[in-house]
Structure 1
Amino acid sequence: MRHFLSVVGAVVGNFILWSLITKLPVHSMIIFCLVIAVGCLMLYSIVHFGKAADNNPSAKG
């Protein structure tokens, strides 16, 4: 369940961040850098919280 919430939280956070970014008039190179940064942050959060859920002994059946 924790892994599912970490994935959903990262995707929802990504959507909210992008809805704010696309409303601002910024240069295309800045948007490209933000795409890479947000993608890396989303992958990091999924991997980090996924490992925390796997190491949790109460999650094992």
Structure 2
Amino acid sequence: MSDFKARIGRDIPKKGETRAVFSIRTSRGNRLEMYGLFDEAIVMKAWRELCANLAKRNEEANR
């Protein structure tokens, strides 16, 4: 029981950190998953790039 609590304690985000799960599937069907605590700046940068990429793909698909 104490081991379980210790693991939970290490996963609590500190100030400036965000818990995030990134799941990426390539066109070949490969999947990459990363999860854990990340600096908020890194999470926001990845989110902005993902949104920009999705917008670009939608624009190209609607041509």
**TM-score, with structure 2 as normaliser:** 0.44
Structure in which a larger fraction of residues adopt helix:
1
Larger RCO (CA under 8 A, 6+ residues apart): 1
TM-score by length of 1: 0.46
Larger radius of gyration: 2
